[in-house]
Amino acid sequence: MHFSSIADAFPSALNRLYQAREDALRRGQPIVDLVSGNVNKAGIYYPQEVLAEALVQALRASRVYDPDSFGQIAARQAISGYYRQAGVNLPFEQMVLTPGSSVSYLYCFKLLADSGDEILCPSPSYPLFETIAKLCQIRPTAYRLVESEGWKIDLDYLESQITTRTRAIVVISPHNPTGAVADDDELQGLAEIAARHQLPIVADEVFGEFLFGLHRLPRAAQTDAPLVFTLNGFSKMLALPGIKLGWLAVSGKPSFVKKSIRALEMISDTFLPVSEPVQFAVPELLNSGQSFLTSYRSWVSQCRDLAVKALSSCRNLALVAPSGGFYLTARWVGSERDEEQWIIELLSEHGVLVHPGYFYDIPETHLVMNFVQEHGALKQALRRLAEFLGRDVL
């Protein structure tokens, strides 16, 4: 039986950490999962009555199937209005709906790169890029975020990594997994590099509603970059991962935008992957979700504060406190340890699942965790983690 090279590119067995997790579950050991970004599992839900009514109305509106390659106009207009309220001009005509950011990345990579080309991605890196890159038969190459400088972008190093095969620069802000938020100077520096080399920027803002100590999100779309693809969706923003609604908005030099939109129309029209009722529900979900979003942001901020307080008190950890998002990354500064074994011991002995830094291409010994959890469960997990690290907190 013949399979493509893609079929052979993916692992056929669980890694050691997830094998240990399966073993623990078979033993009946309770596990606190500080990895998953699914806030529904942490007890956070979009108001169910509002959701139900919006979907009922949307079902009526979509009873005659009449798709739009870009996505229903009413949905795109509502999303454009969301940006307009934040002072960002992203016209609905320059927007394509997708089932989420993973598909948005796939569209961008297929639009911008041919087999063997390169896409510059931040390091630490989210494993998603490697998988999508394999599917697109392109190569993700890394530029550095500098931990000692609060995970800032190393712009000089980034530019040194550009080759004749580089086709785009990905920026994630707030960043997963460090929680860093790129500031205006970083993004303008990135835009200048993009202009010098005529490269588009793919700007992932899926955690953009969750900022700590910042009054606004700096955006690549508000720089002088020649071409920007802004990605977002409802999964994190409105705690609606199962709705599967995302988008990418195109901005920049008009000729580049026009060519991008023309090609994206054909890519999207090939699949028409977004549920029609979901599209018709977008205006109501955005409009009625604002009060929920306010309380949701507050809840996430409290989670972040609990985690930062606990981990900052652990003598063998160094933490750059996250400025946004759901994740943080902490560095082990005690005596040398085997990173993977250390994380497996935490799981086996204390029932707490976090990720080792090497999952994200982070050098030295780090742990990566999601802090968006029900507060009681989070406090319990942090106590166990602190006990494992040798100091009682909380």
Mean pLDDT over each residue of the chain, to the nearest integer = 95
- Tell me, what's the pLDDT at 370? 97
Average pLDDT for 271-289:
97
Question: Which domains does the chain show, CATH number per domain?
Answer: 5-45+291-389 (3.90.1150.10), 63-288 (3.40.640.10)
Instruction: Provide the pLDDT for residue 312.
Output: 92
Whole-number Å distance between alpha carbons of 16 and 62: 47
DSSP 8-state assignment for residue 289: T
The dihedral through the CA atoms of 312, 316, 318, 323 has a sign that is: negative
pLDDT over 50 at 225, yes or no: yes
Per-residue DSSP letters for 324-374?
BSSEEEEEE-SS---HHHHHHHHHHHH-EE-EEGGGGT--SSEEEEE--S-
Average pLDDT over residues 330-359: 93
pLDDT at 394: 44
Q: Is the predicted pLDDT of residue 117 greater than 60, yes or no? A: yes
Question: For 180-240, what is the HEC assignment?
Answer: CCCCHHHHHHHHHHHHHHCCCEEEECCCCCCECCCCCCCCHHHCCCCEEEEEEEHHHHCCC
Q: Mind listing the pLDDT tens digit for each residue in 51-92?
A: 999 999 999 999 999 999 999 999 999 999 999 999 999 999
Instruction: Determine what percent of the chain is predicted with pLDDT higher than 90.
Output: 90
pLDDT in tens, 152-201: 999 999 999 999 999 999 999 999 999 999 999 999 999 999 999 999 99
CB 131 within 8 A of CB 153: no
Please check whether residue 167 is in contact with residue 133, taking contact to mean a CB–CB distance below 8 angstroms: no
Q: What are the φ/ψ torsions at residue 308 (nearest 5 degrees)?
A: -65, -45
What span, in angstroms and rounded, lies between the C-alpha atoms of 156 and 199?
16
Task: Output the pLDDT for position 12.
Answer: 73
pTM for this entry: 0.96
Q: Taking a C-beta distance cutoff of 8 angstroms, is the pair 234, 285 a contact?
A: yes
Spell out the alpha helix ranges (H) of the chain.
Answer: 5-8, 16-26, 48-61, 73-85, 101-112, 128-136, 155-160, 184-197, 234-237, 254-271, 276-288, 290-312, 339-350, 375-389
CA 394 to chain centre: 29
